Structure 1
Amino acid sequence: MLSVSKWGVVATTAVSLAALAGSASAFHDPYSLDRGMGSGRTEAIRLTSTSTGTTVVDNGTSGPGIGDQIIISANLFRNGAGYGTEGAVCTRVATDTTLCSGTFSLPRGQVSWQHLKTTPIGTPPSDFDVAITGGTGAYATVRGYAHIARTAESGGAFTLHLLH
Structure 2
Amino acid sequence: MISLPSWGVVAATALSVAALVSPVSASDEPYEARGTATLNRVQVISLTSTGTGTTMVDNGTPGPGLGDQIIITAKLFRNGRSYGTEAAVCTRVAPATTHCTGTFSLPLGQVTWQHLKSTPVGTPPSDFDVAVTGGTGAYRTARGHAHIGRIAEEGGSFTLYLVR
Interval of TM-score (by shorter of Structure 1 and Structure 2): 0.7 to 0.9
Verify the 8 A CA contact 2:20 2:155 in the aligned structure 1: no
CA distance in 1: counterparts of 2:163 and 2:153, whole angstroms? 29
User: How many residues are aligned here?
Assistant: 156
Deviates more, 1:52-61 or 1:147-156: 147-156
Look up the match of 1:133: 133
Verify the 8 A CA contact 2:98 2:116 in the aligned structure 1: yes
Structure 2 residue runs without a partner (length 5+) = 25-29
Specify whether residues 123 and 129 from structure 1 end up closer, same or farther in structure 2 by C-alpha distance, changes over 3 A only.
Answer: same
Specify whether residues 21 and 141 from structure 1 end up closer, same or farther in structure 2 by C-alpha distance, changes over 3 A only.
Answer: same
Q: Deviations over 1:13-69 (max 9, x none)?
A: 53252x112129xxxxxxx96462752111000000000000000111111100000
Verify the 8 A CA contact 2:60 2:68 in the aligned structure 1: yes
Specify whether residues 75 and 110 from structure 1 end up closer, same or farther in structure 2 by C-alpha distance, changes over 3 A only.
Answer: same
CA distance in 1: counterparts of 2:32 and 2:129, whole angstroms? 17
Look up the match of 2:115: 115
Larger RCO, structures 1/2 (Cα 8 Å, 6+ apart)? 1
Pairing 1:151–2:154 present:
no
Q: Structure 1 length normalisation: TM-score?
A: 0.87
SS at match of 1:40: strand
CA distance in 2: counterparts of 1:65 and 1:162, whole angstroms? 34
Look up the match of 2:20: 20
Task: Trace 1:6-155 onto structure 2 (pairs within 5 A).
Answer: 6-8=6-8, 9-17=10-18, 19-23=19-23, 34=32, 36=34, 39-155=39-155
Structure 1 residue runs without a partner (length 5+) = 25-31
Q: Which amino acid aligns with 1:111?
A: V
Q: Structure 2 length normalisation: TM-score?
A: 0.87
**Higher gyration radius (CA):** 2
Q: Which amino acid aligns with 1:162?
A: L
Specify whether residues 45 and 162 from structure 1 end up closer, same or farther in structure 2 by C-alpha distance, changes over 3 A only.
Answer: same
Q: Deviations over 1:120-163 (max 9, x none)?
A: 12111110000000000000000000000012333221000000
CA distance in 2: counterparts of 1:81 and 1:94, whole angstroms? 38
